[in-house]
Structure 1
Amino acid sequence: MTSAWGADKSGVAVLPPGISVLERGWLSSNNVLLHGATPEEGTVLVDTGYASHAEQTLALLDTILRPNEALRLILNTHLHSDHCGGNALLSQRHGCPILVPPGEYIAVSTWDEEVLTFRATGQHCTRFTPAGKLVPGQTLHQGGREWHVHAAPGHDPHSVILHEPSSGTLLSADALWERGFGIVFPELDGEDAFDQVAATLDTIERLNPTVVIPGHGPPFRDVSTAIRIARERVDYFRREPERHAVHAVKALTAFHMLEVGQSSRDELIDWLTSTPIFISTWRRFFSLHGLLDWASELLDQLVKAKVLLASVEGERVVLRVRDG
C-alpha cells in the first residue's frame, strides 16, 4: 500500500504545509519529505524504506518533488532495514548526503553486520556510507521551521525522533504508532528495554505534539489515546515478556513473507531455524520445545490467524502472505 499525504482528506489528519508523507505499508517505512521554503533550498527526506522497494521509492519521490526541487539530504531515524534500505540508491541518484544516529555511525561506516541488525534478522540492505550524524539535541533548519532531534531508545537503542514545535508535528518513527510501537529488539537479546520504551513515551507526552507522523501507518492527531494504548502495551509486555517474544517472531516472519511473497512450508522452516534472531529468541524463551517443533507451531499459528495462507501444490505446502 502506498498513499500520499499532505492535502486535505476527509476524516484524516491534515499535515502542515511543506510536509508530504508517502505511507508505504509494513515492508517499507513511511517516507517523510520536508520541503524547502524555495526550490533552491531543496527537500529533506526522512527514511527511505526497504531495499527491494528502492526503485519504487525513487519513482514515488519523483511524483512528490516539486518542479526544480532537489533532494538535498537524507535522514534516518534508525538503521533498521525497512527505514534505510533505499539509502544507497536515492543518495546515488540525487547526489545527496545521509545522516544517521550517532550510536550507529561507526557500525554503518565500516559496514559491521555483526553490530547492524541486517544479518541477525535475515533482512537486506544495500551498503551505503553516511556523511555525518543526526545527534539528539541538534536542530535542523528546513523550510522555515526548526526540527529538534530527540533520543528515542526502546524499539532501537539508537533511534531518534524529530519534533517541530511551531506546528506541533512529531516524526515518531517506530517509537509510537497509532496503536502501539515497534518490536523492542533489545529485549530479544536479553537487555532490559521496556523502561526505555516507557521513558520515550514520556518524552513524547512532554513534547505535546498535535499531529504525529509514525514510521508505519497514517498520520494521526489523537496523540493522548495513542500514548495510553502504547503504555498499556508496554506494561503488558513487562509482565509477560514471552508474549512480546511471540509477537516479535510472528511480526518478523510476516515481514520476511512480505519480502519473498511465497515460500514452501519446509523452506520457511529452514529460514526460521537458520536466522540468528529466531534462534536466540527460541533459546531465551522457548527452548523447552525443540527448535523445529517450535518453528512449525509458529507457522501453524500464523496460518490459523490468516496472517499466512496455505495451499497444497503437488507434494508441497506453499505459504503466502495475506494481501492487506
Structure 2
Amino acid sequence: MADTHNPRIATDSRLAALGITVLERGWLSANNVVMRADTGGLVVDTGYATHAEQTVALIQETLEGCPLERVVNTHLHSDHCGGNAALRRAWPHLRIGIPPGLAPAVRDWDPVALTYVPTGQICPRFDYDELVHPGDRFRIGGLQWTAHAAPGHDPHAILLHEPNQGILISGDALWNNGFGVVFPELDGANAFDEVADTLDLIEALSPSVVIPGHGPVFQGASVPVALARARSRLLQFQRDPAKHRWHALKVMIKFKMLELQRVERKELQAWFDCSAYFIRIARIDREQSPSEILDALLNDLQQAQALAIVGNWILNQ
C-alpha cells in the first residue's frame, strides 16, 4: 500500500478517446476520474484533504481551460471527498453530487456521523447540490452513466456504469487486488453478504474496463480474475471476522502514516488513544492496553514492510 505524491495518469487510448482521464493517486487519495465534454468537465471522487491543492492543479491541467461543472462522489470517506471544498473554491459554480445516505450529516456537518472524527481523519466542510440515487442516470459527452447501489465497504456507496462502452467506476467496491475494508462489520452489522451481492452485481454488469477507487485501471480478462480474488478474500474474512477487524485496524494506521509520513511514537500513541473507535474494535478480540494494541499493529506493519520503526520514530515506507 505505497503512496505517491506524484500521480500517474493512466494511459488508455480507449478511455482517452472517450474523454476520460484517470489520475491514479496512490492510497491516501482516491483516484480522480476526469471526464471532458464541450460544455464542461466532471470529476468522480476528489482525494484526501492534504492533497487538495495538488488535486485542483491536476484537474485544471487535465481540463485544459474547460470549466469543471460537476463532482460526483462514489461515497463520503475522507479519501474520496477531501478535495470537494478546494474544488468548489476553484470553480465556484461547481455542482457537487453525493449518494443520499449521509446527506443530512453533510448538510448539518456532523464529522462524527461522517466517520472523520472516529477514524482520526480530516475532511474540510463542504455542501452538496444534488443527490445521486441508485438508478439515476446522467450524460456527459457521448457517455450515459447509471448509478447503482454498492453497499458493503460503505452502506451508502454507489458505483457508476456506462453500459454502451462497458466501463465501470467501482469506487472501493472492487480493486484489482480486492476491495475496501467492510466498515459496517466493524460496527456489528452483517455486511459481508452485501459485499458478495455487490460483487455479483459487478459480474452481472459484465464490465470490460474497471476504473477502481485505488490502484490501476484493469480490463478484459483481468476483470473476472479480480472478482475471483475479491471473493476469495471475502471468504477468508467470513470464516474469520477477527482477521478482518485486525486488517481494518492496520489499514487505518497505515492510512495515517500515509498522511503523516513520519511521526514520533508517543505522538502516534496519543492519536490512537483518542479514538474510542479503534480501541473498541481491537478489544472485541483481545484484552490489551492501548499501548500493547498499537505495538502489535506497528510490529505487524513493520513485518509487512508497510512502515519502519527507527528508535522513537515511525516512518512510512
Question: Which residue does 1:321 correspond to in 2?
Answer: 316
CA distance in 1 between partners of 2:57 and 2:145 (Å): 26
Residue by residue over 1:88-110, the C-alpha shift from the partner in whole angstroms, topping out at 9 and shown as x without a partner, is 01012112010110001111111
**Contact 1:189–1:280 at 8 Å: present in 2 too?**
no
2:301 aligned partner: 302
1:28 aligns with 2:44: no
Q: Which one-letter code corresponds to 1:58 in the other structure?
A: V
Which AA in structure 1 matches 2:88? S
Q: 1:137 aligns with which of 135, 138, 147?
A: 135
Residue among 151, 170, 175 paired with 2:149? 151
Q: 1:86 matched to which residue of 2?
A: 83
Q: What is the CA distance between 1:305 and its match in structure 2?
A: 2.2
Structure 2, unpaired ranges of 5+: none
CA gap 1:224/1:264 in 2 versus in 1, 3 angstroms: same
Is the 1:273–1:295 contact (alpha carbons within 8 Å) kept by the matching residues of 2? no
Return the letter of the residue paired with 1:255.
F
SS in 2 for 1:35: strand
Letter in 2 for 1:309: A
Amino acid in the other structure paired with 2:307: L
Checking the alignment, whether the CA contact within 8 Å between 1:16 and 1:167 is kept in structure 2 is no
Relative to structure 1, the CA distance from residue 5 to residue 304 in structure 2 (aligned partners, 3 Å threshold; closer, same or farther) is closer
Task: Name the structure 2 match of 1:269.
Answer: 269
Between Structure 1 and Structure 2, how many residues are aligned?
309
Report if the CA contact (8 A) 1:6-1:19 is conserved: no
> Given that residues 74 and 91 in structure 1 are in contact (C-alpha distance below 8 angstroms), is that contact kept between their aligned partners in structure 2?
no
Is 2:14 aligned against 1:17?
no
Normalised to the residue count of structure 1, the TM-score between the two structures is 0.92
Aligned counterparts, 1:19-98, within 5 A: 19-36=20-37, 38=38, 41-66=39-64, 68-95=65-92, 96-98=94-96
Q: State the Cα RMSD in Å.
A: 1.3
Q: Distance in 2 between matches of 1:187 and 1:180?
A: 17
Q: Name 1:247's counterpart in structure 2.
A: 247
Corresponding residue to 1:5 among 10, 14, 38:
10
Aligned to 1:176: 174
How far apart, CA to CA, are the structure 2 residues paired with 1:309 and 1:138?
46
| Distance (whole Å) between structure 2 residues aligned to residue 201 and residue 16 of structure 1 | 28
TM superposition shift of 1:114: 2.4
Partner-residue secondary structure (3-state), 1:235: helix
What's the counterpart of residue 232 of structure 2?
A: 232
CA contact (8 A) 2:246 2:282 kept: no
* Counterpart residue type for residue 56 of structure 2: L
SS in 2 for 1:148: strand
Residues in 2 aligned to 1:250 and 1:134: alpha-carbon distance in whole angstroms: 32
The alpha-carbon deviation at position 257 of structure 1 amounts to 0.7
What is the rounded CA distance, in whole Å, between the counterparts of 2:86 and 2:146 in structure 1?
27
Distance in 2 (CA, whole Å) between partners of 1:234 and 1:21 is: 27
Counterpart CA distance in 2 for 1:94 and 1:5 is 24
Give me the whole-angstrom Cα distance separating, in 1, the residues matched to 2:243 and 2:118.
21
The one-letter code matched in structure 1 to 2:47 is G
Partner of 2:184: 186
Deviation at 1:293, TM superposition (A): 1.3
